[in-house]
Chains A and B, each alone.
Chain A
Amino acid sequence: MFYREAGDFSTTYAQDQQTFPIKFDRYRYYAVLFVALFVIPFVVNDYWVNSLFMPFLIYAIAAIGLNILVGYCGQVSLGTGGFMAVGAYASYKLMTAFPDVSMFIHVLLAGVITAGVGVLFGLPSLRIKGFYLAVATLAAQFFLVWLFNRVPWFYNYSASGQISAPERDTFGILITGANTQAWATYTFCLIFTIFSAIVARNLTRGSVGRKWMAIRDMDIAAEIIGVNPLRAKLTAFAVSSFFIGISGALFFAIYLGAVEVGEVFGITKSFLVLFMIIIGGLGSIFGSFAGAAFLVLLPVLLKIVGVDWLGWPTDIVAHLQLVIVGALIIVFLIAEPHGLAQLWRVAKEKLRLWPFPH
């Protein structure tokens, strides 16, 4: 009834190619942006930001990054945790070396550095494919975590081997450290999330994205029709690592504040982000958000139901969570391999024909 393209005429090519061609979608998008930018910052408190919004926003960036590599370019990576660690340590070194520079620049630079490291570990992808590549990216995971654990230069020779974020600001507003305000950290992360989503969306529907998808669907055929696999794969690794680096930097500097690398950026983190994009939907930006939201909400909900309502011990709930996540992965792969994003697409398709589906 209200969800129609009828009557919504495009008069320019730009209008024809916009991300949300249906008017209702477009207004919904603006409404979400408005609420996220101008309503939530004024009403949030520490609990909401720290337990829901910040992890969601940061994981969404990581999921977008991994989705570009796995969902769009078809190169399975299990090294996400390691690349997030690169982002975290890069931002730490930058923060301590240049205290006067704005955090915006530090986070972006951390992303650029991670992109470089990502390209380095992406080089074998030109020779190695499929499982072999998935396992090869584990080399990045273990090597990077070991490196940050063992080389004192990376953690500035601190006695504990941890890194902790000093107080830094941007435009005079405190962003990192202990004395931040909820709205400031929230808005800071939100800006990066919006930026990542817009960049990723426009990259994936442009010529770069089409090349990635050609490589994903069949690399030899893509090569024959003139896609340069070297360039396509390495740009995918670079862009993906750039986003993952940003999310790692935010995860360390804004969200946690102090990090022990083996604990925070271990292989479980790689799997968590991979699960997000499987549940959310491979090859979909919306899916990255949906998956991140789902896996951030699930433990919170389980904790509320299991520990607070039923009064079970926390370790049982933690184990149940493993069971549920594992089962969900399998159920999604069987029932809907394209994840939540596909459910959303089907729902929209139904809605367009509603109430006269024939």
Chain B
Amino acid sequence: MPEQLAFTIEVFLNGLMAGVLYALVALGFVLIYKASGIFNYAQGVMALFAALTLVGIIDGQVPFYHLINAIFGTDIHYFGWKVNSLVAIVVTMLVMIALAWMVQRFVFRHLVGQEPIILFMATIGLAYFLEGVGDLMWGSEIKTLDVGLPQGINATIDEATFNLTGYGFFIDNLDIIASIVAAVLVIVLVLFAQYTKQGRAMRAVADDHQAALSVGVSLNFIWILVWSLAGFVALVAGIMWGTKSGVQFSLSLIALKALPVLMLGGFTSIPGAIVGGLIIGVGEKLFEFLIGAPFLGGATENWFAYMLALVFLVFRPQGLFGEKIIERV
């Protein structure tokens, strides 16, 4: 097999893996959008916040130690214990549920019935707020997250492909795990939405707030549930990305990567988020490899996804799987 083709296939596979990770973030967006019509820009920052909290709990950091030290002149940093990863994940999840409750109680309860674009801007404010709080709570330096996920080249695939084609493919173990987790997550979420009582209530709220309210669905509960689910997805995404590239501010920028995925797949479709993620992941990696790096000076990954989505939208404004947009006066 010629070298160039082997490279291309490798890039393709890595693109698929990256796409899965994008889809993971996009999933959180879709969940909230479907149930409450809120386009949650803060999803990426929620992932960052979850990862920061997780690292902080594992390392036994004192929350707000920076601020406390500045105000009281003390010099504390750590409690001096290490927490088991699983326990830490559970505690972080509790924090995310508390966050969901607070977001619902203090922000979106007061914004019911506002225009979608106002809600969108509120989530941008929320993103800034959370980013600031996360930094104040846990400090803004780059941290490494290790919850025991395997990392590095997968030896089996490397060997198998080497025997087959004469060139060993580099596939990261973490990416494989991320894909499996994402697949499981999607299946669980779809089953949850289709077959459980809460899932049905969630879909009812998504369909029509008032009708759902009138048959006895608690809007408040459903919205807290949805934000908690989004917090859970953010935690999973935060663990994956945090393990991959460290917990730092740039983690919140994955939200920006998820936006074109959403545009491509449609804001209301869970399968759309997956397919869109895969298309974007593969598309940008292949474009960078085949055209971007050799001819355009590289770093095309920053904008390729957006341009692809933009061109695509001109032909199909509701995205691949989105519901048809019907407008009336």
Q: Which of B90-132 contact A (CB under 8 A)?
A: 107, 110-111, 114, 116-118, 120-122, 124-132
Q: Which bucket holds chain A's interface residue count?
A: 35 or more
Q: Are A138 and B314 in contact (CB under 8 A)?
A: no
Q: Are B118 and A131 in contact (CB under 8 A)?
A: no
Q: Are B260 and A135 in contact (CB under 8 A)?
A: yes
- Closest A residue to B120 using CB positions: A131
- A301-344 vs B, Cβ < 8 Å mask (1 yes, 0 no): 00000000010110110011111111111100110010000000
Distance A328 CA – B107 CA, assembled complex (angstroms)? 12
Distance A149 CA – B107 CA, assembled complex (angstroms)? 39
Q: Which of A105-153 contact B (CB under 8 A)?
A: 124, 127-132, 134-136, 138-139, 142-143, 145-146, 149-151
Q: Tell me if A271 is interfacial: C-beta within 8 Å of chain B.
A: yes
Q: Tell me if B164 is interfacial: C-beta within 8 Å of chain A.
A: no
Q: Are B124 and A136 in contact (CB under 8 A)?
A: no
Select A323's contact among B129, B262, B328, beta carbons within 8 Å: B129
Q: Size of chain B's interface in residues, with CB distance under 8 A?
A: 53
- Among A4-12, A218-226, A239-247, the stretch that binds chain B is A218-226
- Closest A residue to B133 using CB positions: A323
- Closest B residue to A142 using CB positions: B303
Q: Are A316 and B70 in contact (CB under 8 A)?
A: yes
- Closest A residue to B135 using CB positions: A319
Q: Are B303 and A143 in contact (CB under 8 A)?
A: yes
Given known A146-B300, A220-B328, A323-B132, contact A127–B314 (CB-CB < 8 A) = yes
Q: Tell me if B309 is interfacial: C-beta within 8 Å of chain A.
A: yes
- A-B Cβ contacts below 8 A, count: 141
Q: Are A278 and B307 in contact (CB under 8 A)?
A: no
Select A131's contact among B39, B107, B307, beta carbons within 8 Å: B39
Q: Are B127 and A146 in contact (CB under 8 A)?
A: no
Select A329's contact among B116, B122, B299, B306, beta carbons within 8 Å: B122
Which residues of A lie under 8 Å from residue B116 when comparing CB positions?
A: 130-131
Select B122's contact among A267, A319, A330, beta carbons within 8 Å: A330
Which residues of A lie under 8 Å from residue B306 when comparing CB positions?
A: 135-136, 138-139, 142-143
Q: Are A326 and B307 in contact (CB under 8 A)?
A: no
Q: Are B132 and A135 in contact (CB under 8 A)?
A: no
Q: Which of B285-321 contact A (CB under 8 A)?
A: 296-300, 302-303, 306-307, 309-310, 313-314, 317, 319
Distance A246 CA – B116 CA, assembled complex (angstroms)? 31
Q: Tell me if B13 is interfacial: C-beta within 8 Å of chain A.
A: no
Distance A275 CA – B129 CA, assembled complex (angstroms)? 13
Select A138's contact among B70, B118, B259, B300, beta carbons within 8 Å: B259
Q: Are B310 and A334 in contact (CB under 8 A)?
A: no
Select A334's contact among B107, B263, B329, beta carbons within 8 Å: B107
- Closest A residue to B66 using CB positions: A316
Sort A-B residue pairs by CB-CB distance and give the 9 closest, nearest first.
A329-B125, A326-B129, A322-B132, A326-B128, A139-B306, A323-B132, A142-B303, A150-B297, A143-B303
Q: Can you name 9 A-B pairs with beta carbons within 8 Å? A: A76-B117, A132-B319, A139-B309, A271-B124, A310-B70, A313-B66, A316-B67, A329-B128, A330-B126
